[in-house]
């Protein structure tokens, strides 16, 4: 009986203790204490730091054994056995994936432990303290001073835990167990065309907050009435109810005071006469401040409307053509996951140099630097979650994982004017279960944010009666706002020279974006244009594909695959690939290929209203 009671106690405390804390909105512009830098690490292939020899998790035991790594134990004296020592262990840079930092971790998929010791400057026990992670790929278990704060799954979205109760002024330590193994029922599933970079891949920051603070907010042009701003504020803390919240936008002479309800929540609508609307040609950001008597945050927000009308995409009521490029989150020259503002400047700088006003951040939510910089640069953004290829559509748990990642992405970026599209999926095999899965995701997204457009990268195929006529036959095209599809005519089948005879017949009165096309080329390899892997062949495919796509009546945008070469375990040809997918327009040495200039010229000459 005692054993059952103990198991119940542990289970309930896990549920209570490990429920994630709501995401801190706008942590990016809050003053925080960074824990970035060198963390000690221990590779734990057999996960003995997490499970005892009976495969029971140490952290579900009242007395975790000497092998529980999260205790960061030290021998009490010379007779005391402790079989690990973080302080004697090597270090990894955080943020950063482990694969690109250590030769012997290049292919590693498994559990790896991180430890960081830290003091809290100006520690104030009357304050509340949160520990925020920009992302960890893929599973994370987080402990501070030997106490579990919680766990998170999903490799590309932020999460945070309150650690007030276990924190001290000095001599703290945080231990994170990271596991990047792939599983069929996770999101993404086991097969992807990108490198499974593991680790604490984005910033780690401590936030000191008042007892009652501003946890979440949004403010945006009202979709139904562009003469007013709509928004909400959510407070967190004991005195969140019936609390005054002041919203200020000085440049618009706005200063409004509201009072929260019993749950610390208040919704508001603010009439505005004249707003300088954000757009790709005019990335105007307003300073918005929200304050209470104990907290104040300020954010930089652009106000714009994005909608469709028939087969047009309208930005602030005017037709816009999306001159785009697809981007993986990789600093191809350094190798490894991109994460910093400098990485973002390189990637989005290249997109601008191409003449883009649009980027597809494939195939998962990128780090916040990318969307914040896109706001400033006037780049429209397609954001997506890694519902990619053969997801476990029948599994309700898998659906919840996808929906959680989507909610985390929408919560983080709902105030970013640059984000105009949420994409539900990429190249997913059609079935009733997949249709229901994606339709529910779209519903959940619209319930969270009805101000942006929904799409998914679908697939085309030759029509039954004419192989030169390509069609999209996918019931999810009824659900989306924009019909997007990937097509590789001339690379995965078909001849480039036949593209002039190819037509897409898409009998849907919605905008169409071609979300991928491309060919691989080894930078510096030249030959005649029919020779695969040459820059000339890649450029030839661009020269023939772009005008063919431009013949699609609903042609509203295109994001060729892809800005830079990127690492993939699927690309192992030792001469042409060397572990890289070579469809980039720029190589891993930062050299532009011939097709870069082909696309640049196409965008320069494109006759569009914007
Ligand atoms: C697919 C997929 C990409 C992949 C690309 C390719 O369309 O969406 O993730 O990298 O094709 O084969 O290069």
Question: What is the rounded distance in angstroms from the CA atom of residue 433 to the CA atom of residue 377?
Answer: 40
Mean per-residue pLDDT of the chain: 95
DSSP string, 330-394: B-TTT-SB--SHHHHHHHHHHHHHHT-SEEEE-SS---HHHHHHHHHHT-EEEEE---BSS--TT
User: pLDDT band at residue 609, thresholds of 50, 70 and 90?
Assistant: low
Q: What pLDDT does 187 receive?
A: 98
* pLDDT per residue as tens digits for the range 546-592: 999 999 999 999 999 999 999 999 999 999 999 999 999 999 999 99
* Residue whose entry in the numeric block shows the structure tokens 């970013």: 416
Q: What is the pLDDT of residue 16?
A: 41
Q: Which CATH superfamily is domain 317-609 in?
A: Glycosidases (3.20.20.80)
The number of the ligand 1 atom at minimal distance from the alpha carbon of 427 is 8
Ligand 1 center from residue 493 Cα (angstroms): 14
The pLDDT assigned to 66 comes to 81
What is the distance in A from the centroid of ligand 1 to the CA of 340? 25
DSSP one-letter code for 569: T
Q: H or E element: which one contains 484?
A: strand 483-486
Q: Is 561 in the pocket of ligand 1 (CB under 6 A)?
A: yes
Report which DSSP code applies to 66: T
Q: What does the pLDDT look like over 512-557, one tens digit per residue?
A: 999 999 999 999 999 999 999 999 999 999 999 999 999 999 999 9
Q: How far apart are CA 420 and CA 486, in angstroms?
A: 19
Stretch(es) of the chain classified as CATH 2.60.120.260: 19-209
Distance CA 111, CA 88 (A): 19
The secondary structure of residue 454, as a DSSP letter, is E
> Residue 219's beta-bridge partner residues?
231
* Phi, psi of 227, rounded to the nearest 5 degrees: -95, 10
How far does residue 342's CA lie from ligand 1's centre (Å)? 26
For 430-456, what is each residue's pLDDT tens digit? 999 999 999 999 999 999 999 999 999
For residue 354, what pLDDT is reported? Answer: 98
Strand partners, 220: 230
Instruction: Write out the residue limits of the CATH 3.20.20.80 domain(s) in the chain.
Output: 317-609
pLDDT of residue 17: 41
Q: Is 427 in the pocket of ligand 1 (CB under 6 A)?
A: yes
Span 150-181, pLDDT tens digits: 999 999 999 999 999 999 999 999 999 999 99
User: What atom of ligand 1 comes closest to residue 363's alpha carbon?
Assistant: 9
- From 326, 389, 561, give the residue whose CB has the most ligand 1 atoms within 8 Å, as the site to mutate: 561
CB atoms within 10 A of CB 238: 8
Q: What pLDDT is recorded for position 5? A: 57
Atom of ligand 1 nearest to the CA of 520: 13
Give the pLDDT score at 4. 58
Arithmetic mean of pLDDT, 231-243: 97
Domain 19-209: CATH superfamily is Galactose-binding domain-like (2.60.120.260)
Q: What's the CA gap between 608 and 373, in Å, rounded?
A: 25
Four-point Cα dihedral 413, 417, 421, 423, nearest 10: -10
Tokens, residue 35: 């824990």
* pLDDT at 18 exceeding the cut of 50: no
Burial of 78-93, coded b for 16+ CB within 10 Å and e otherwise, reads eeeeeebebeebeebe
Pocket test for ligand 1, best of 361, 429, 486, 491 (most atoms within 8 A of CB): 486
Question: Kindly report the CA angle at 169 between 166 and 174, in degrees rounded to 5?
Answer: 50
Residue carrying the six token digits 């086991």: 190
**Which ranges of 484-593 does DSSP label H, i.e. alpha helix?**
535-549
Q: What is the average pLDDT across 328-357? A: 96
Percent of the chain with pLDDT over 90: 93
Rounded to two decimals, the pTM is 0.96
Find out whether the beta carbon of 384 lies less than 6 Å from any atom of ligand 1. Answer: no
Dist. CA 39–CA 90, nearest whole Å:
8
Average pLDDT over residues 331-343: 94
Architecture of domain 224-304: Sandwich (2.60)
Q: Please name which of 266, 389, 333 lies closest in space to residue 564, comparing C-alpha atoms.
A: 333
């Amino acid at each position: 009986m005692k054993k059952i009671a103990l198991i119940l106690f542990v289970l309930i405390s896990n549920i209570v203790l490990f429920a994630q804390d709501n995401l801190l909105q706008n942590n990016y512009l809050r003053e925080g204490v960074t824990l970035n830098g060198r963390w000690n690490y221990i590779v734990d292939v057999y996960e003995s730091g997490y499970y005892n020899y009976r495969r029971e998790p140490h952290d579900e035991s009242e007395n975790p054994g000497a092998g529980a790594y999260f205790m960061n134990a030290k021998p009490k004296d010379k007779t005391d056995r402790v079989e690990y020592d973080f302080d004697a262990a090597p270090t990894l840079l955080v943020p950063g994936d482990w694969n690109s930092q250590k030769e012997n971790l290049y292919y590693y998929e498994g559990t790896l432990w991180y430890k960081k010791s830290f003091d809290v400057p100006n520690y104030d026990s009357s304050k509340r303290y949160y520990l925020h992670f920009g992302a960890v790929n893929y599973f994370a278990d987080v402990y501070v001073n030997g106490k579990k704060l919680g766990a998170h799954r999903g490799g590309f979205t932020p999460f945070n835990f309150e650690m007030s109760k276990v924190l001290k002024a000095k001599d703290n330590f945080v231990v994170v167990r990271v596991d990047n193994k792939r599983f069929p029922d996770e999101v993404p599933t086991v097969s992807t065309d990108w490198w499974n970079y593991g680790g604490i891949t984005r910033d780690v920051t401590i936030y000191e907050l008042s007892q009652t603070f501003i946890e979440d907010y949004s403010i945006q042009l009202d979709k139904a009435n562009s003469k007013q701003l709509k928004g909400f504020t959510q407070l967190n803390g004991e005195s969140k109810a019936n609390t005054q919240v002041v919203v200020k936008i000085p440049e618009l002479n706005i200063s409004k005071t509201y009072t929260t309800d019993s749950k610390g929540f208040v919704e508001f609508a603010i009439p505005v006469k004249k707003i300088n609307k954000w757009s790709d040609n005019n990335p105007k950001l307003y300073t918005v401040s929200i304050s209470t008597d104990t907290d104040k945050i300020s954010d930089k927000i652009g106000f714009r409307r994005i909608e469709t009308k028939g087969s047009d995409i309208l930005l602030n009521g005017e037709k816009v053509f999306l001159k785009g490029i697809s981007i993986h989150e990789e600093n191809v020259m350094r190798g490894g996951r991109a994460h910093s503002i400098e990485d973002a400047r390189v990637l989005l700088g290249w997109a601008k140099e191409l003449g883009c006003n649009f980027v597809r951040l494939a195939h998962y939510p990128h780090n916040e630097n990318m969307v914040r910089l896109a706001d400033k640069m006037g780049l429209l953004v397609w954001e997506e979650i890694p519902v990619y290829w053969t997801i476990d559509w029948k599994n309700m748990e898998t659906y919840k994982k996808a929906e959680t990642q989507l909610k985390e992405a929408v919560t983080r970026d709902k105030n970013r004017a640059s984000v105009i599209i949420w994409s539900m999926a990429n190249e997913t095999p059609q079935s009733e279960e997949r249709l229901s899965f994606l339709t529910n995701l779209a519903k959940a997204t619209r319930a969270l944010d009805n101000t942006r457009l929904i799409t998914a990268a679908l697939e085309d195929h030759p029509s039954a009666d004419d192989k030169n006529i390509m069609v999209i036959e996918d019931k999810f095209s009824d659900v989306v706002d924009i019909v997007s599809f990937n097509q590789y005519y001339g690379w995965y089948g078909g001849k480039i020279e036949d593209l002039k005879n190819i037509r897409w017949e898409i009998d849907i009165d919605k905008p169409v974006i071609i979300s991928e096309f491309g060919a691989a080329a080894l930078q510096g390899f030249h030959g005649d244009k029919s020779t695969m892997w040459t820059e000339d062949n890649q450029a030839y495919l661009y020269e023939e594909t772009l005008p063919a796509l431009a013949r699609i009546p609903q042609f509203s945008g295109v994001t060729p695959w892809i800005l830079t070469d990127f690492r993939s375990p699927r690309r192992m040809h030792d001469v042409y690939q060397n572990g890289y997918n070579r469809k980039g327009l720029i190589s891993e040495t930062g050299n532009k290929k011939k097709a870069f200039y082909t696309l640049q010229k196409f965008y320069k000459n494109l006759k569009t209203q914007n």
